């Protein structure tokens, strides 16, 4: 009987140890969880590079000199929402993570956002595109950096249509992300006085785009919008180059394109593409200096993508807020401080974190240079138009985020 | 009839009972030592692998589409609990029920063929379900359904937000499913299933309506897979495309092979090993898939009966 009681007491003791809340938080320890795709299609745009960016932010915050202990842990979510949710929970419970960053893949990001809210930590998605993160699925613990589907659609659709690309044809990935992008872009194109001549849905991970491209070519649309991502975007651009679509006078507008994609395709294929991005390394002295530092530290020696730049800026701003609050354990409190403080960093400039968690900064419409125009490695983009911060993102009046009071 | 004496049969059964008590004891104590949310996820996969094993190990039907039942269970449960506000204690059985219905249709179609054709039919049907999960509005495409609320259930008696309470809730579900499979395998019905596996024409010649037995086993397996999926949706708080994708079907096969096909405990061990690799090796990035591949090849080359199968063969036990 005594044994039984002792056993129960021990079990109780162990459970209290196992589930004790982050007791270390008070003594100035911050753990950053980089829940990312480390092995698959987003590994180049986020991956280990986001860990590098986060470490640079820690260094630049100067907080370690003030006695803070800050570390970064990376974990591979394998693009599975269930794995991402469990990893996040485990990072928070066992490694006492205070903030989760990057998390490309919208499905995983939405799952992670739910766990982070439940645990009252902070979530800074800088690599996920879904505008729902600051819309219907917004939480008091999420701060969405870099880009979202609204920004991409409105930036590219609006700027190109205003510049004279009045007739559009869409190649759309047949799933929610692609359809949302197409619908958003269509609305902007029509609002700017353009027309949409047609669209074609292709399955996810298509290898052969020839029939879709031929239809797009035959439509005689001035602009072919690619409402897809990753490998599908690269495949469709490569095959469009083989069909001579750009040389034939049509513009190709991929709605989501990363600099690593351009690097992988090469300028010969990618030249002439027009697209929206929140960040380009070769914008000014600040971005150049930062990007060169990043390139030296990155294991693959790539230039930073916009997602990785967002990871840096997000962590930097987060650390500022934690320093002000004095304790990272209450995530909602830290996020409230992040929203109160104006953002200011060398990569995105000055901006704000809105009530719905959206970070506003300017967005840019770029055109990929021709091989002749490119003077040095990674000299890929030329600026076509700047979309000011207050125009780049979904206005609060259109938001369906419950945090926005109307 | 195999020629084993009664005492021998009794001894074999005793080994199973001892193993079951050990397993239960380990699982009861486990959350004090290992992260409970990992254990819960592994338990869901264990139940799934056991359900799969009921088909492949005891009827000889290799289904390559079991993710469709898990995904159906997960999506229905998640949708009801998240969007319709149905309490979890009703959402889980509902997910299971719909998975059973899918199992009736898929089973009726696929058991008409044998061998590779059976596997291919199940794979094709599961890809159909995958397409539905991608396209139907209520599934939210690749974003999935989330968050599934972990609330108090049974009138506030059980708080699913508490790690230990939800763990034991999941353990009860797993063990109930496991016992059901154990009972089925050791019943006259199970003996008929094994005879179909060994020699189908002979079972027919003895007057058994083989197709009905196969369909029954298929639906049972689908139902339990749906239960596993619905429970997993509750544990990880989401239902997503990876639940219905064919790679998940592949992982189920891997779990069962590593643990030991046609053994009662093998799929449980296999599920824990594969889940542990996914979670604890996640820092290694792409090496996880490579390691999984190496283990699979090693398993097939070196110990074909799987971990539990080899142990059982070595000691002459029936596990």
∠A149-A150-A155 over CA atoms, to 5°?
105
Contact A36, A77 (CB under 8 A): yes
Q: For the residues A105-123, what does the mean pLDDT come to?
A: 92
Distance from CA of B60 to the nearest CA of A (A): 30
Interchain contact, A76 vs B143, CB within 8 Å: no
Q: Which CATH architecture has domain A156-282+363-389?
A: 3-Layer(aba) Sandwich (3.40)
- CATH classification of A27-147+284-362 is 3.40.50.2300, yes or no? yes
Contact A131, A49 (CB under 8 A): no
Kindly indicate the confidence band of residue A120, based on its pLDDT and cuts at 50, 70 and 90.
very high
In tens, the pLDDT along B101-119 reads 999 999 999 999 988 999 9
As given in the structure block, the two tokens for residue B39 are 């254990």
Kindly indicate the confidence band of residue A180, based on its pLDDT and cuts at 50, 70 and 90.
confident
DSSP string for residues in A248-302: TT-EEEESS--HHHHHHH-HHHHTT-EEEES--TTSSHHHHHHHHHHHHHSTT-P
Q: For the residues A266-290, what does the mean pLDDT come to?
A: 92
pLDDT in the model for residue B285:
64
pLDDT in the model for residue A376:
92
Question: Residue A52: is its pLDDT beyond 90?
Answer: yes
Kindly indicate the confidence band of residue B12, based on its pLDDT and cuts at 50, 70 and 90.
low
Kindly indicate the confidence band of residue A27, based on its pLDDT and cuts at 50, 70 and 90.
low
State the angle between helix axes of B163-185 and B6-29 in degrees (0 to 180), rounded to the nearest 10.
170
pLDDT in the model for residue A332:
94
Question: Residue A241: is its pLDDT beyond 80?
Answer: yes
Distance from CA of A176 to the nearest CA of B (A): 5
Distances (CA, A) of A364 to A155, A202, A343, B17, B152: 7, 28, 18, 68, 48
As given in the structure block, the two tokens for residue A317 are 């701003």
Instruction: Average the pLDDT over each of A176-185, A211-220, A276-285, B246-255 and give the range with the smallest value.
Output: A176-185
Interchain contact, B143 vs A132, CB within 8 Å: yes
| Among A228, A240, A231, A166, CA closest to A202 | A228
As given in the structure block, the two tokens for residue A368 are 């990929």
Model pTM score: 0.83
Q: Tell me the average pLDDT of chain B.
A: 90
DSSP string for residues in A177-208: HHHHHHHHHHHHHHHTT-EEEEEEEE-SS-S-
Kindly indicate the confidence band of residue B10, based on its pLDDT and cuts at 50, 70 and 90.
low
pLDDT in the model for residue B175:
96
Question: Residue B281: is its pLDDT beyond 50?
Answer: yes
pLDDT in the model for residue A217:
92
Q: For the residues A366-386, what does the mean pLDDT come to?
A: 93
Indicate where chain A has its CATH 3.40.50.2300 domain(s): 27-147+284-362, 156-282+363-389
Interchain contact, A43 vs B289, CB within 8 Å: no
Beta strand spans in B212-312 (E): none
Kindly indicate the confidence band of residue B6, based on its pLDDT and cuts at 50, 70 and 90.
low
Residues in B closer than 8 angstroms to A93, CB to CB, are: 35, 37, 163
Question: Residue A24: is its pLDDT beyond 70?
Answer: no
Question: Residue A8: is its pLDDT beyond 70?
Answer: no
ipTM exceeding 0.90?
no
Kindly indicate the confidence band of residue B283, based on its pLDDT and cuts at 50, 70 and 90.
low
In tens, the pLDDT along A249-274 reads 899 999 999 998 999 899 999 998 99
Q: Tell me the average pLDDT of chain A.
A: 88
Kindly indicate the confidence band of residue B55, based on its pLDDT and cuts at 50, 70 and 90.
very high
Interchain contact, B279 vs A90, CB within 8 Å: yes
In chain B, what are the domains? Answer: 15-315 (1.10.3470)
Chain B residue at shortest CA distance from A43: B285
DSSP SS3 for A30: strand
Touching A: B residues 26-85, CB under 8 Å: 31-33, 35, 37-38, 41
Residues in B closer than 8 angstroms to A85, CB to CB, are: 146, 236-238
Question: Residue B1: is its pLDDT beyond 60?
Answer: no
**What sign results for the dihedral spanned by CA atoms B101, B106, B112, B113?**
negative
In tens, the pLDDT along A354-366 reads 999 999 999 999 9
Question: Residue B263: is its pLDDT beyond 50?
Answer: yes
Question: Residue A26: is its pLDDT beyond 80?
Answer: no
pLDDT in the model for residue A18:
45
How many CB pairs lie under 8 A apart between chains A and B? 118
Interchain contact, B240 vs A81, CB within 8 Å: yes
Kindly indicate the confidence band of residue A17, based on its pLDDT and cuts at 50, 70 and 90.
very low
In this structure, chain B runs to a length of: 319
pLDDT in the model for residue B279:
77
């Amino acid at each position: 009987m005594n044994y039984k009681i002792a056993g129960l007491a021990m079990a109780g003791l162990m459970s209290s140890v196992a589930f004790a809340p982050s007791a270390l938080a008070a003594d100035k320890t911050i753990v950053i969880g980089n829940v990312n795709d480390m092995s698959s299609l987003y590994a180049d745009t986020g991956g280990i590079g986001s860990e590098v960016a986060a470490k640079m932010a820690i260094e630049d915050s100067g907080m370690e000199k003030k006695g803070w202990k800050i570390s970064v842990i990376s974990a591979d979510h394998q693009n599975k929402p269930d794995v991402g949710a469990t990893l996040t929970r485990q990072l928070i419970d066992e490694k006492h993570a205070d903030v989760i960053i990057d998390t490309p893949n919208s499905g995983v990001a939405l799952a992670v956002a739910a766990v982070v809210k439940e645990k009252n930590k902070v979530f800074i998605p800088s690599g996920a595109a879904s505008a729902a993160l600051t819309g219907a699925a917004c939480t008091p613990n999420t701060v969405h950096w870099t880009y979202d589907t609204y920004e991409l659609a409105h930036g590219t659709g609006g700027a190109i249509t205003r510049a004279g690309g009045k007739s559009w044809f869409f190649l759309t990935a047949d799933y929610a992300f692609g359809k949302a992008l197409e619908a958003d872009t269509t609305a902007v194109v029509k609002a700017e006085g353009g027309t949409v001549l047609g669209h074609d849905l292709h399955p996810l991970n298509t290898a052969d785009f020839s029939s879709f491209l031929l239809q797009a070519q035959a439509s005689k649309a001035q602009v072919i919008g690619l409402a897809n991502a990753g490998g599908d975007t690269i495949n469709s651009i490569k095959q469009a180059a083989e069909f001579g679509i750009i040389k034939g006078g049509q513009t190709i507008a991929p709605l989501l394109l990363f600099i690593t994609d351009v690097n992988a395709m090469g300028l010969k294929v990618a030249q002439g593409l027009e697209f929206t991005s929140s960040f380009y390394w070769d914008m000014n002295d600040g971005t150049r200096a930062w990007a060169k530092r990043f390139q030296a530290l990155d294991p693959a020696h790539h230039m930073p993508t916009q997602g990785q730049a967002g990871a840096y800026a997000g962590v930097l701003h987060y650390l500022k807020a934690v320093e002000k609050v004095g304790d990272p354990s209450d995530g909602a409190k830290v996020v409230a401080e992040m929203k109160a403080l104006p953002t200011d960093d060398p990569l995105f400039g000055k901006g704000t974190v809105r009530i719905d968690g959206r970070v506003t900064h300017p967005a840019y419409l770029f055109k990929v240079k021709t091989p002749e125009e490119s003077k040095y490695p990674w000299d890929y983009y030329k600026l076509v138009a700047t979309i000011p911060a207050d125009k780049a993102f979904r206005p609060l009046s259109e938001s369906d985020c419950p945090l926005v009071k109307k | 009839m195999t020629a084993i004496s009664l005492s021998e049969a009794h001894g074999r059964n005793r080994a199973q009972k001892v193993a079951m008590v050990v397993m239960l004891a380990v699982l009861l104590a486990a959350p004090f030592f290992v992260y409970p949310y990992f254990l819960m996820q592994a338990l869901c996969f264990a139940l799934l692998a056991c359900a799969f094993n009921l088909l492949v190990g005891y009827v000889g039907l290799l289904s390559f589409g079991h993710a469709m039942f898990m995904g159906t269970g997960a999506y229905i449960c998640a949708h009801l609990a998240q969007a319709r506000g149905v309490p979890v204690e009703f959402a889980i059985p509902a997910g299971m029920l719909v998975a059973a219905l899918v199992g009736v249709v898929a089973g009726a179609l696929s058991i008409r063929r044998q061998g590779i054709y059976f596997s291919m039919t199940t794979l094709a049907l599961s890809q159909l379900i995958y397409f539905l999960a991608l396209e139907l509005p209520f599934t939210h495409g690749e974003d999935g359904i989330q968050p599934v609320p972990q609330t108090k259930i049974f009138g506030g008696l059980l708080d699913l937000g508490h790690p230990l309470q939800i763990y034991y809730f999941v353990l009860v579900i797993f063990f109930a499913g496991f016992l059901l499979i154990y009972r089925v395998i050791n019943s006259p019905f199970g003996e008929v299933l094994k005879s179909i596996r060994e020699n189908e024409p002979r079972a027919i010649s003895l007057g058994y309506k083989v197709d009905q037995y196969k369909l029954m086993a298929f639906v049972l397996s689908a139902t339990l897979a749906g239960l596993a999926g619905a429970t997993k949706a509750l544990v990880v708080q989401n239902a997503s495309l990876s639940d219905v994708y064919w790679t998940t079907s592949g992982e189920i096969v891997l779990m069962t092979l590593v643990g030991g096909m046609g053994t009662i405990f093998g799929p449980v061990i296999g599920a824990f090993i594969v889940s542990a690799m996914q979670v604890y090796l996640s820092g290694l990035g792409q090496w996880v898939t490579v390691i999984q591949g190496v283990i699979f090849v090693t398993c097939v080359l070196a110990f074909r009966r799987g971990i539990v199968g080899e142990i059982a063969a070595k000691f002459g036990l029936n596990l």
